[in-house]
Amino acid sequence: MKFKTALLMGFAFTAGIGLTSTLDNIHPATGFASALAKDTAQKDASQDENNNAETVRLLTLFGTVMDVVHSEYVEPISDKKLINNALDGLVGNLDPHSSYMTPEQFKQMQDEISGQFGGLGLKVQADGGHVRVVAPIDGTPASRAGIISGDVITMIDHKNIADLTLDQAVRQMRGAPGTKINITVLRPKTGKTIDYTLTREIIHVQVVRSALYGRVGYIRLAEFDDTSEHEVRTNYEKLVKQVAKTPGKTLVGLILDLRADPGGKLDQAIAVSRDFIKSGEIVSVRGRHPENNQHWNAKGTDITHGLPMVVLTDSGSASASEIVAGALKDHKRAIIMGERTFGKGSVQTLIPIADQGALRLTTARYYTPSGRSIQGRGVTPDIAVAATHGEDELFTYRESDLAHVLSNIGGKAGEETTRQDIPASLVKSIPREPPEKWPNFNPEKPETDFQLQQAIHLLNGLSTYKAEPAAAGKAPVGGNNANDAKTETKNGKDGNSKAHGVKSDEKAEPKSAPVKEQK
């Protein structure tokens, strides 16, 4: 039996099931009593008939093409491969984040979610036939080597990968721990091709880490997995205890670093947001079926009790990261600093298909508390600070650059509002990019992290800030205890304020002393 014949028989059986189901839902007391009901039913039936005829025609075409390829292709090819190729296109061309996974690919994804796997530590995505880096994972060979978000992988072990699928490329990058691999990337920001020789490792994903810079707490969230919120809370409590070792001292601010965080689980993004926002909406989700729309609110908790916050973002901050950044921005709970985020405003649902793999399907868009969709737009920082000198926004990779990108609909249009409650003198003291001779970024040396240094500078400045006349009577920026922090430091008791040069009557210089991690 030819494939198209079997395909049409299967379709006829499916159509019969659909017809039976529809008839079973007719109410027995009314049936088709009125002429209007009859007319509507006839139109619906006619429309269904037309749709079914078109579907049969297209399925016939599909079967014919498959039969021709099967019999005439230059070398034998299995039906399984042809059908898997078709399924890839069927789902993968809908948008950049929907895909069909074979059983092998599904297992691979489950291994990644478990938090331990062998390889280089790269989050990658297919993009118009290319393999593009979404983000390197902290503390992995890829991160230490300097591979960054937006890099396009062009060669593996000096062999072009243009003809490989994403899955095939990922398999080649994985291997036995301790073995070496050469990766060639094209960096769109510079137009340069860079070779990296890396050693594969068992990748242990450290989701959350923290540090203390003077009296400013720092929490780095690398992705949103099952334990993210718990670890954020645990690390914050550790910072509070650490700063309290100096009698009379408390934290003056908190930095939440979401740079190069590709996202993860929606429930964890909501939970992390609830750790800092006491009231109001966190996020809403709207899909195809209105009855499935949902929204989530805060639960009256702020683990910091209103401590001023800065959230660091860049073009690698995506999905769940943007939910947190968008919620904290809309509620004016934190100052967003850095670069515009990736712009992935869609929600994917994982749908296992018996033992035949799974679908990763886009089922909804999400919206920030103000009703904005960040799909293709991202979250714009309150204070823009580039990571490197002379960075060209034109070559930054984001959602809007992907093929088959999902449209931005259903939310409030227009630009995001600019915050007016951040002291102008402090904003002006923050350079928009590093000086030309700023040292190259080294993740193990926080003094080389220009965006981090500016966040520390801002929070220390807020802790000593005296309200300008125009700002009198306004709520403290980013939290409710800014006045308490000011009282503690107004007599010069805070040993960090001088090092950062941010007294209220001084203009901070870009060359102010960088702050290192407190051991």
- Catalytic residue numbers read 319, 330, 344
CA distance 186 to 155: 9
CA–CA gap between residue 366 and residue 224 (Å, rounded): 16
- Outline where 210-307 has alpha helix (H): 228-243, 266-274
Sign, Cα dihedral of 23, 26, 28, 33 = negative
Sequence-ordered list of residues with C-beta below 8 angstroms from that of 489, at least 6 positions apart, any chain? 252, 463, 464, 497
Q: Which long-range contacts (C-beta less than 8 Å, at least 24 apart) are formed by 235-244? A: 235/208, 235/209, 235/210, 236/210, 236/275, 236/303, 236/304, 238/210, 239/210, 239/212, 242/212, 242/518, 243/212, 243/215, 243/217
Query: Residue 53 class from Cβ within 10 Å (0-12 exposed, 13-18 middle, 19+ buried)?
Result: exposed
Name the nearest CA neighbour of 233 among 215, 208, 214, 252. Answer: 208
Amino acid at 351: I
Handedness of CA 433, 437, 443, 447 (dihedral sign): negative
| Cα distance between residue 442 and residue 127, in whole Å | 28
C-alpha distances in Å from residue 154, one per residue of 33, 137, 408: 66, 20, 31
Inter-residue contact 196 to 220 (CB < 8 Å): no
Closest CA to 228 of 264, 176, 179: 264
The radius of gyration of the chain from alpha carbons, rounded to an integer in Å, stands at 27
Q: Which two tokens stand for residue 7?
A: 């395909």
3-state secondary structure of 495: coil
Q: How far apart are CA 262 and CA 342, in angstroms?
A: 9
Three-state secondary-structure class, residue 80: helix
Task: Evaluate whether 446 touches 515 at the Cβ level (below 8 Å).
Answer: yes
Residue with tokens 């964890």: 268
Element (H, E) at 119: strand 116-119
User: Which two three-digit tokens encode residue 387?
Assistant: 């990571």
